[in-house]
């Protein structure tokens, strides 16, 4: 019996087959889960194409996390494919390049607000939209990049991730009585679409393998995906508000 046998999961953010979200969906299916993906706009075709590369093609529902209409319709759209959810994966993030890549001091509020809404507030939006589907409790898992530090070039996305991590803690508080666990996986730098969109990201990733006691492969998202799958399973029944680091151990090392 698989780790996720019988689970019904909603996974956001499958835009390439090199992403943590894609590998989470693949592992989840291999471990017995039924998976629904979400996407929106021009990205829908990408998500549908990569869905066909999964062990079993997954349905894709429309969801723009900044759209009140989409959020209100999410439960009905998901119910067209499954009768409820046991887990949700938040793999959503965006910041305009004007507030990254060394532009912290010159960042303007409209662009910062966009980064915070999409990359942090959306965790609450998604949780509330999915909650009617999680009548028996379940697991919400998000992806972060250790927000305790001021990383080179990350700038306002780093601030958004700090807000994201705080949002997770408050969700853990408020959704715990509903039996919903809320946890994050903090992965080391990976050569994903999101990373490539950050000007100068190589300044963060180049030294990572040397600093990591276990080493670090920037081209392999599977270790992070396995952690997400584990948190979606029943093997962490009393864990919430947590951040699991999957970074080769860099988070525990001094400079």
Binding residues for substrate: 95
Residues 164 and 120: beta-carbon distance below 8 Å: yes
Would you list which residues are annotated within the binding site for NAD(+)? 13, 19-20, 64-65, 92, 161
Annotated catalytic residue, options 8, 161, 170, 196: 161
Residues 156 and 220: beta-carbon distance below 8 Å: no
Neighbours of 32 (CB within 10 A): 13
Rounded CA separation 133/145 (Å): 28
Three-state secondary structure readout of 59-115 = CEEECCCCCHHHHHHHHHHHHCCCCCCCEEEECCCCCCHHHCCCCCCCCCHHHHHHH
Residue 226's closest CA among 71, 3, 59, 60? Answer: 3
Would you list which residues are annotated within the binding site? 13, 19-20, 64-65, 92, 95, 161
Q: Is 45 a catalytic residue?
A: no
Contacts of 4 (CB under 8 A, 6+ apart): 28, 31, 32, 33, 87, 229, 232, 233
Q: Is 196 a catalytic residue?
A: no
Which residues carry out catalysis?
154, 161
């Amino acid at each position: 019996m698989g780790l996720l046998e019988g689970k019904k999961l909603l996974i956001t953010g499958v835009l390439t087959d090199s992403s943590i979200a894609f590998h989470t969906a693949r592992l989840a299916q291999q471990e017995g889960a039924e998976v629904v993906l979400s996407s929106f706009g021009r990205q829908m075709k990408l998500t549908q194409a990569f869905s066909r590369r999964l062990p079993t093609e997954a349905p894709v529902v429309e969801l723009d996390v900044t759209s009140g209409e989409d959020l209100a319709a999410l439960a009905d759209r998901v119910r067209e494919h499954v009768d409820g959810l046991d887990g949700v994966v938040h793999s959503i993030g965006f910041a305009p390049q004007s507030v990254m890549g060394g532009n912290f001091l010159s960042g303007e509020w409209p662009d910062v607000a966009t980064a915070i809404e999409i990359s942090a507030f959306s965790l609450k939006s998604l949780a509330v939209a999915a909650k009617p589907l999680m009548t028996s409790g379940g697991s919400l898992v998000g992806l972060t990049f250790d927000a305790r530090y001021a990383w080179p070039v990350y700038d306002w996305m780093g601030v958004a991730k700090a807000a994201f991590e705080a949002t997770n803690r408050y969700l853990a508080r408020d959704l715990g009585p509903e039996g919903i666990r809320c946890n994050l996986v903090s992965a080391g730098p990976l050569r994903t679409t999101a990373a490539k969109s950050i000007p100068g990201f190589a300044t963060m990733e180049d030294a990572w393998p040397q600093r990591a006691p276990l080493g670090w492969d920037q081209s392999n998202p599977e270790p992070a995906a396995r952690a997400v799958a584990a948190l979606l399973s029943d093997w962490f029944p009393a864990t919430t508000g947590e951040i699991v680091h999957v970074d080769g151990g860099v988070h525990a090392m001094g400079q």
